[in-house]
């Protein structure tokens, strides 16, 4: 074991503020504080400099242009995400470096390693197969795949030919799949027969089949993973292994305009209907590349492990595009962290000599519960840097991650960002620091942002407000909601106008400008790092015909961060029972998937309403959190509140 690094403490009174060591400063890409002033004085020049590292078929004519809800980056430039992820490294003579390591869940199966050349060949073959299936530039393609190499291959193949992908998390229900395919009009989807989860084969094809019914999907490509017997629909379904078998491995990358759509990713807004977040090619590529490089101190030869699923933005940017554009090795793990035992993550770190680990606070809290003995069994000294994402991290989880996983040697990079931002936005840099438990840090250089009050006035240190991002917007920021630009405007630019993006996150900063994210200020929950609207759970429950009215609010949870709590009014004559509770849970499972399952269902006779009949979710939220319910004078039925207090306690 190397000696634990002496962390420099600039201020001896601040024991928990960590600064980079001299060794880290020397090794990493940027360690001079001046970068902030330079980049923020001229964000266009800053991002353009990163853009120059990438390959452009044609260089851009203009760096940035602003118009309300129509800001653009690298205007007139032509590039391709897949070319930058693969061909660029092969041309530089690095084609034999390992691009991807796949660790299957069953331990008896061998890990798969693909070099950049091999990954390139597979991507090209599949891209040609997609063309043979009729996919053209601009056509949306659905991807409903588990954590197997083909997930990365399929995404790369789509962007290679200019067909925007729309990845749907494999644990999402068939209904979620259908809604998304209908919305984006995908005619082709890629799925698998199944995958392994907690030692058991899961049948994914069944959900895919149900999901493509009554959707525009005409062709289903099925990757053979588990070898399970699955029905194949004649004329619609084809095996992935068959279509790539004879496909040519020559597939020049399409020259995409910077502003062309590279992918859509659906995420929860405040309504029941998820929105298709649109990401471009040039701007997205540049920020994905630059943030992966600087935030995670990424170098060739690094084995970078982002434990998110490819179905989330974190998987898009930091499993696939970010590490590959940097020529690093990305690790993809198929299964569960507790199979065959709760040491699996650490076994993987040791086996593949993972250099950077990027995971979520929910996972860290779970590891703490499982006990220090699990990480202690393995050699984790290959780790140089740790990342966290997805939800606010608590101090205890941070310290445990730092000491037990990082051995006190690794900086923790706490990255705040969103599906909409496409790439990291707020976090301190490894060579500059500081690393402070539960504090994300400063906006990335070139990202202009501040904490504002509700009227848009910037707030001083330690004053709670809302985080906003200013124009020139960072290049990866979404360009809109697919098919609903009115919603785009209303959601992000109604608050502070077109030049200030409203994040929906509460935040405050210290005197040095380090930002603490306090969480969503809208009706979006963060359940075990999964983003979910309370309205989605409500509309799922409302599909059960025993339900007459329903309201869902979030409640803090020790392990998962937040969980949904549902207040349900049953139709006349129906008595609450455990069977109905189970049935309602099953309804949520079917409509959303397990992520949406309420932690508690409270059967009520009445819920607090305003005189105009609107459910007062604010009061319900206070009730489940044991907080003061506040002013009830505007309610039509204030007596409902006391009754509910009892019910919440008794129906735990």
Which residues form the interface with ligand PRX (CB under 6 A)? 267, 313-314, 389-392, 414-419, 440, 504-505, 517, 519-520, 526, 531
Between 527 and 565, name the residue whose CB sits nearer to ligand PRX. Answer: 527
Cβ atoms of residues 607 and 548 within 8 Å? no
Between 82 and 267, name the residue whose CB sits nearer to ligand PRX. Answer: 267
- Concatenated DSSP letters for 459-488? P-TT--EEEEEESSPPTTS--EETT-HHHH
Please state the closest distance from residue 599 (CB atom) to ligand PRX, in A: 19
- Concatenated DSSP letters for 234-248? TTTEEEHHHHHHT--
Between 275 and 609, name the residue whose CB sits nearer to ligand PRX. Answer: 275
Between 183 and 414, name the residue whose CB sits nearer to ligand PRX. Answer: 414
Please state the closest distance from residue 503 (CB atom) to ligand PRX, in A: 6
Please state the closest distance from residue 311 (CB atom) to ligand PRX, in A: 10
Take residue 354 and report the two structure tokens written for it.
């993972």
Positive or negative CA dihedral for 520, 523, 524, 526? positive
Between 498 and 519, name the residue whose CB sits nearer to ligand PRX. Answer: 519
Q: How far apart are CA 118 and CA 121, in angstroms?
A: 5
Please state the closest distance from residue 363 (CB atom) to ligand PRX, in A: 13
**H or E element: which one contains 197?**
strand 194-197
Q: What is the DSSP code (8-state) at residue 28?
A: S
Q: Which residues contact 351 (CB under 8 A, 6 or more apart)?
A: 103, 111
Sheet holding 480-481, edge to edge: 237-239, 219-223, 188-192, 141-143, 165-167, 261-267, 275-280, 480-481
Please state the closest distance from residue 196 (CB atom) to ligand PRX, in A: 25
Residues making up the chain, counted from first to last: 652
Q: What angle do CA 117, 119, 124 make, to 5 degrees?
A: 95
Between 260 and 414, name the residue whose CB sits nearer to ligand PRX. Answer: 414
Residue 262, SS3 per DSSP: strand
Please state the closest distance from residue 414 (CB atom) to ligand PRX, in A: 5
Using only the alpha carbons of the chain, give its radius of gyration.
24
Between 362 and 526, name the residue whose CB sits nearer to ligand PRX. Answer: 526
Take residue 599 and report the two structure tokens written for it.
């932690």
Q: Which residues contact 142 (CB under 8 A, 6 or more apart)?
A: 165, 166, 167, 168, 177, 180, 181, 184, 186, 188, 189, 190, 217
CA atoms within 13 A on the CB side of 60: 25
Please state the closest distance from residue 323 (CB atom) to ligand PRX, in A: 16
Please state the closest distance from residue 390 (CB atom) to ligand PRX, in A: 5
Between 255 and 271, name the residue whose CB sits nearer to ligand PRX. Answer: 271
Rounded to an integer, what is the distance from CA 591 to the centroid of its chain? Answer: 21
Please state the closest distance from residue 426 (CB atom) to ligand PRX, in A: 8
Please state the closest distance from residue 113 (CB atom) to ligand PRX, in A: 28
Q: How far apart are CA 306 and CA 544, in angstroms?
A: 37
Q: How far apart are CA 129 and CA 133, in angstroms?
A: 6
Rounded to an integer, what is the distance from CA 176 to the centroid of its chain? Answer: 17
Between 122 and 617, name the residue whose CB sits nearer to ligand PRX. Answer: 617
Between 63 and 526, name the residue whose CB sits nearer to ligand PRX. Answer: 526
Between 297 and 420, name the residue whose CB sits nearer to ligand PRX. Answer: 420
Between 51 and 277, name the residue whose CB sits nearer to ligand PRX. Answer: 277
Please state the closest distance from residue 151 (CB atom) to ligand PRX, in A: 18
Q: How far apart are CA 194 and CA 203, in angstroms?
A: 5
Please state the closest distance from residue 8 (CB atom) to ligand PRX, in A: 24
Task: Locate the DSSP E strands across 353-489.
Answer: 356-359, 385-389, 412-415, 449-452, 465-470, 480-481
Please state the closest distance from residue 82 (CB atom) to ligand PRX, in A: 23
Residue 542, SS3 per DSSP: helix
Q: Which residues contact 391 (CB under 8 A, 6 or more apart)?
A: 360, 361, 362, 519, 526, 529, 561, 562
DSSP H helices in 373-514: 373-376, 395-400, 485-492
Please state the closest distance from residue 438 (CB atom) to ligand PRX, in A: 9
Between 221 and 527, name the residue whose CB sits nearer to ligand PRX. Answer: 527
Between 80 and 419, name the residue whose CB sits nearer to ligand PRX. Answer: 419
């Amino acid at each position: 074991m190397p000696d634990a690094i002496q962390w420099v403490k600039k201020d001896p009174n601040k024991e928990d503020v960590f600064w980079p060591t001299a060794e880290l400063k020397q090794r990493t890409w940027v360690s001079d504080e001046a970068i902030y002033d330079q980049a923020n004085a001229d964000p266009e020049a800053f991002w353009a400099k990163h853009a120059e590292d990438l390959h452009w078929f044609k260089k851009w004519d203009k760096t940035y242009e602003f118009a309300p809800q129509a800001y653009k980056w690298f205007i007139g430039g032509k590039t391709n995400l897949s070319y930058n992820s693969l061909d660029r490294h092969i041309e530089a003579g690095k084609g034999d470096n390992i691009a991807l390591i796949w660790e299957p869940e069953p331990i008896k199966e061998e890990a798969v390693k693909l070099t950049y050349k091999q990954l390139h060949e597979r991507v090209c073959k599949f891209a040609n197969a997609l063309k043979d299936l009729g996919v053209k530039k601009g056509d949306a393609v659905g991807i409903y795949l588990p954590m197997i190499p083909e997930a990365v291959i399929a995404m790369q193949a789509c962007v290679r030919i200019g067909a925007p992908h729309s990845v749907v998390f494999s644990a999402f229900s068939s209904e979620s799949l259908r809604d998304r395919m209908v919305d984006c009009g995908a005619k082709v989807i890629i799925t698998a027969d199944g995958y392994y989860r907690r030692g058991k084969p899961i049948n994914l094809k069944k959900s895919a089949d149900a999901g493509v019914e009554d959707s525009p999907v005409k062709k289903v490509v099925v990757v053979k993973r588990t070898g399970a017997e699955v029905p194949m629909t004649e004329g619609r379904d084809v095996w992935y292994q068959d279509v790539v078998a004879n496909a040519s491995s020559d597939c020049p990358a399409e020259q995409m305009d910077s502003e062309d759509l590279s992918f859509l990713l659906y995420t929860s807004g405040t309504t029941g209907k998820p929105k298709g977040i649109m990401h471009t090619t040039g701007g997205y590529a540049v920020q994905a590349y630059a943030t992966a490089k600087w935030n995670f101190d990424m170098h060739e030869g690094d084995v970078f492990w982002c434990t998110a699923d490819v179905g989330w933005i974190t998987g898009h940017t930091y499993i696939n595009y970010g590490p590959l554009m940097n020529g690093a090795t990305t690790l993809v793990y198929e299964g569960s962290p507790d199979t065959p035992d709760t040491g699996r993550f650490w076994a993987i770190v040791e086996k593949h000599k993972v250099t950077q680990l990027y995971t979520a606070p929910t996972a860290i809290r779970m590891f703490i519960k499982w006990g220090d003995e699990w990480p202690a069994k393995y050699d984790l000294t290959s780790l140089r840097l740790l990342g966290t994402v997805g939800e606010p991290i608590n101090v205890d989880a941070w310290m445990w991650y730092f000491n037990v996983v990082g051995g006190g040697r690794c900086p923790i990079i706490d990255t705040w960002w969103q599906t909409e931002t496409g790439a990291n936005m707020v976090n301190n840099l490894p060579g500059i620091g500081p690393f402070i438990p539960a504090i994300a840090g400063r906006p990335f250089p070139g990202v202009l942002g501040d904490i504002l009050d509700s009227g848009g006035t910037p707030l001083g240190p330690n004053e709670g407000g809302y985080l906003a991002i200013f124009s020139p917007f960072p290049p990866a920021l979404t360009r809109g909601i697919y098919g609903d630009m009115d919603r785009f405007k209303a959601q992000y630019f109604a608050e502070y106008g077109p030049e200030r993006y409203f994040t929906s996150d509460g935040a405050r900063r210290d005197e040095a400008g380090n930002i603490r994210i306090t969480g969503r200020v809208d009706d979006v929950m963060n359940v075990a790092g999964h983003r979910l609207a309370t309205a989605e759970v409500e509309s799922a429950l409302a599909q059960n015909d025993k339900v007459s009215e329903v309201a869902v609010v979030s409640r803090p949870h020790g392990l998962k961060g937040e969980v949904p709590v549902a207040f349900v009014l049953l139709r006349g004559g129906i008595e609450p029972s455990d069977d109905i509770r189970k049935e309602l849970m099953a309804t949520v499972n079917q409509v959303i998937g397990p992520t949406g399952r309420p932690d508690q269902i409270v059967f009520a006779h009445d819920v607090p309403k305003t005189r105009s009949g609107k459910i007062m979710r604010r009061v319900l939220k206070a009730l489940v959190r044991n907080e003061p319910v506040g002013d009830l004078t505007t309610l039509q039925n204030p007596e409902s509140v006391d009754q509910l207090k009892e019910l919440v306690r008794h129906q735990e």
